[in-house]
């Protein structure tokens, strides 16, 4: 059986599955239930200065897929609305009761050195394993210079990170906002400030929908609403890209990353780890399905690792990073063409309609003598865009077959068709 234990930025954990800083990690009761269920670690819901934040009633909204499952989740809740004293006491008690689990504390206070100095010292006394600096909360408390108000300014990221490293001996993880033009600048700033790791991504600014009867966005608070933080499966592609950008950037390469964003099962976790994440954080899936999902996550990841011959997490961590590159370095001589399996085809015509209406008119529709319909790919017109394969409802009915495999590698900087080839 594969060994799922990790050491992330000096923090040991029995498995890479951590609960992210969010409602599920708001108090000792929740956190202990999570540990009992098998989670390897938690990031305690963000602490701030007293008086504690005040939250509104009606806090979440969602977008659903065609099966009724939550695909996107929106949250307008702020940081903890419980006192700092109560949180610190509970953190200390939980860590003593569960010494083998990772317990990281999320923090967000005004952008003042004394405020950060005070709170990191208090958290250090609890015995917590590390700090996560919340520079990404997209909706609340910018008036205090907190959350994304800091994370969107690399100079502030570097400055606050340095303060925390100066006044605390604990590992410092900087949580990065995705609500920025290029996340690499924030990651570089965190590294310059001495961060031991980064976590990415925090939630994305969003409005999930409008109630067209009441003409207000959801969630609604007495007829009004606001933008919130978007998370869940829908944000996973964005998160994967940002994790990859940090992992392959020459200035942040090697900086530990805790991957966050739409992780709902073991396969999602494996994808984040393959792009360099050393731990993964989960929130939405736990809120929708409960803490017990971690059992399936652990079993699934372990079984997959066994099937691939991976003995420990580090055996496949980052293996997909070298294969993630800039477009200009892709092989221009690589060519695939769609191939439709007649035996599996159900004649729905979705591939034909998609290609005919919106792509390259590379599928021919033929009517047989018995009145049934057959579809055939016109190789000379097919550009291998994958659209037909994506729209096909039958698994493996359409495959992309490689052609001209004997041609040598040639990227766009080498391609004679590139008018700026010499400048690339």
- Selecting among 111, 137, 164, 283, the annotated active-site residue is 137
Non-local CB neighbours of 124 within 8 Å, separated by 6+ positions: 168, 169, 170
Active site residue 231: no
What's the half-sphere exposure (Cβ side, CA atoms, 13 Å) at 6? Answer: 26
Contact 144, 204 (CB under 8 A): no
For the record, the structure tokens of 143 come out as: 């008036």
154 alpha-carbon distance from chain centroid = 21
Contact 109, 122 (CB under 8 A): no
What residues are annotated to the active site? 137
């Amino acid at each position: 059986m594969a060994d799922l234990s990790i050491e992330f930025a000096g923090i040991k954990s029995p498995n890479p599955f951590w609960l992210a800083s969010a409602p599920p990690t708001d108090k000792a009761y929740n956190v202990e239930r999570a540990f009992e269920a098998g989670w390897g670690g938690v990031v305690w819901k963000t602490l701030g200065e007293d008086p504690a934040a005040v939250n509104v009633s009606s806090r979440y909204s969602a977008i659903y897929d065609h099966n009724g499952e939550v695909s996107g989740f929106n949250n307008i809740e702020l940081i903890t609305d419980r006192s700092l004293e109560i949180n610190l006491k509970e953190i200390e008690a939980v860590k003593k009761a569960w010494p083998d689990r990772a317990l990281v504390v999320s923090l967000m206070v005004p952008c003042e050195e004394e405020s950060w100095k005070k709170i990191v010292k208090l958290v250090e006394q609890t015995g917590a394993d590390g700090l996560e600096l919340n520079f990404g909360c997209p909706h609340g408390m910018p008036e205090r210079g907190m959350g994304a108000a800091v994370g969107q300014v690399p100079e502030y990221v570097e400055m606050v990170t340095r303060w925390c490293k100066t006044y605390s001996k604990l590992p410092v993880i900087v949580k990065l906002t995705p609500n920025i033009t290029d996340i690499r600048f924030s990651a570089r700033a965190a590294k310059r400030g001495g961060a031991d790791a980064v976590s990415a991504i925090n939630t994305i600014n969003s409005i999930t929908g409008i109630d067209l009867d009441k003409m207000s966005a959801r969630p609604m608070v007495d007829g009004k609403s606001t933008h919130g933080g978007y998370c869940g499966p829908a944000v996973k592609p964005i998160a994967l890209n940002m994790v990859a950008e940090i992992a392959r950037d020459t200035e942040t390469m090697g900086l530990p990353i805790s991957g966050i964003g739409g992780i709902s099962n073991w396969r999602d976790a494996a994808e984040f780890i393959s792009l360099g994440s050393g731990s993964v954080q989960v929130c939405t899936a736990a809120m929708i399905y409960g803490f017990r999902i971690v059992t399936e996550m652990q079993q699934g990841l372990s079984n997959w690792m066994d099937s691939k011959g991976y003995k420990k997490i580090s055996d496949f961590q980052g293996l997909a990073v070298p294969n993630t590159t800039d477009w200009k370095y892709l092989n221009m001589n690589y060519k695939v063409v769609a191939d439709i399996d007649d035996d599996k085809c159900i004649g729905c015509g979705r591939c034909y309609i998609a290609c005919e209406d919106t792509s390259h008119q590379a599928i021919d529709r033929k009517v047989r003598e018995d009145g049934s319909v057959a579809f055939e790919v016109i190789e000379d017109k097919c550009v291998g865009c994958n659209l037909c394969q994506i729209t096909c409802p039958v698994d493996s009915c359409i495959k992309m077959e490689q052609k001209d495999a004997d041609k040598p590698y040639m990227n766009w900087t080498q391609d004679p068709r590139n008018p700026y080839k010499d400048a690339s």
